[in-house]
Amino acid sequence: MGVPSGYTSAQVVQAVPTGINSALVLTGSATLSSTSTNITSCFSATYDNYFIFMSNVKLSASAGYITVELLVDTTPATTNYGYEGIYYKSGVNTGENASGESAWTETIYQNSASTSMGFTYTIMQPFLAVGTNMNSSNYIQGNFGRTRNLWNTNETSYDGIKFSQANGFASGTVRVYGLVLS
Amino acid sequence: MANPLITVGNELHNNVVTREMTDAEFVQHKKLIADAEKSLKAQAKAKAERQVARTALLTKLGITEQEAQLLLGS
């Protein structure tokens, strides 16, 4: 097999070759330490869809939940959130759903304050003035996992996202990546 | 007592500010938390009701929870 176009070696590729762009571009970053965090201007017309990674998340209390809201500048949307999902705990699968909510709410259980957790979200078309969809997939301490398909039916262009926690975040990092269109 | 802290901005744009919530933001935050807790209670109630119905059905069928899981592939 020959050396692919753009590569200098058929062995180990150590860098992205010239002319090949990354599929993910960092568009937002925040450190969680307050009760609420607004990540502004992380969604734009440049991308339709985004990945959001939350890492090293610790709550100030051992159990609680994270609320997620979509933002227009710094103003959160407070209507028309919902989801369908399934969670697994102690050998039992259970379906769950909600509609007409004022935010997306994700429960979290933290067995030990010294253990951190990670979360992933895929959010589709938040900046387009159509409904917004999101998928979440979270492992939660205590043999508890959850996958949800979330939606907000407001036909609004959102440019940011807000994370809140009733007792505050002890730590955490959020990174938002746009998926290039081509 | 001081209002809770809110962080606003984007580290990529070097415009992050952490400050106390304004009174209006705190009112909105309290409503957000109250709504979230109401939603979680409703979910918990629905799950408990489903579990009661599940247990009754298992009794009616004469099988255990583990046997039902095997049957359903869960």
> How many interchain CB pairs under 8 A, A with B?
102
pLDDT, tens digit, for every residue of B3-55? 999 999 999 999 999 999 999 999 999 999 999 899 888 888 888 898 899 89
Residue A49, sorted as left (phi over 0), alpha (psi -120 to 50) or beta, turns out to be beta
pTM for this structure?
Answer: 0.84
Q: How far apart are CA B65 and CA B74, in angstroms?
A: 11
Closest chain A CA to residue B65: A92
Chain A residues with CB inside 8 Å of B65's CB? 91-92
Please state at what angle helix B23-61 crosses helix B65-72, rounded to 10 degrees: 100
Query: pLDDT higher for A96 or A21?
Result: A96
Does residue A11 or residue A37 have the better pLDDT? A37
DSSP string, B7-45: EEE-GGGT--EEEEPPHHHHHHHHHHHHHHHHHHHHHHH
Least confident of A47-51, A118-122, B5-9, B22-26: A118-122
Give the three-class secondary structure for B51. helix
ipTM over 0.85: no
Average pLDDT over residues A17-43: 90
Q: Are B39 and A164 within 8 A, CB to CB?
A: no
Q: According to the model, what pLDDT value does residue A69 have? A: 97
pLDDT for residue A153 is more than 90: yes
| Percentage of residues of chain A with pLDDT beyond 90 | 55
Is the minimum CB–CB distance between A80 and chain B shorter than 8 Å? no
The answer to whether the beta carbons of residues A62 and A111 sit under 8 Å apart is: yes
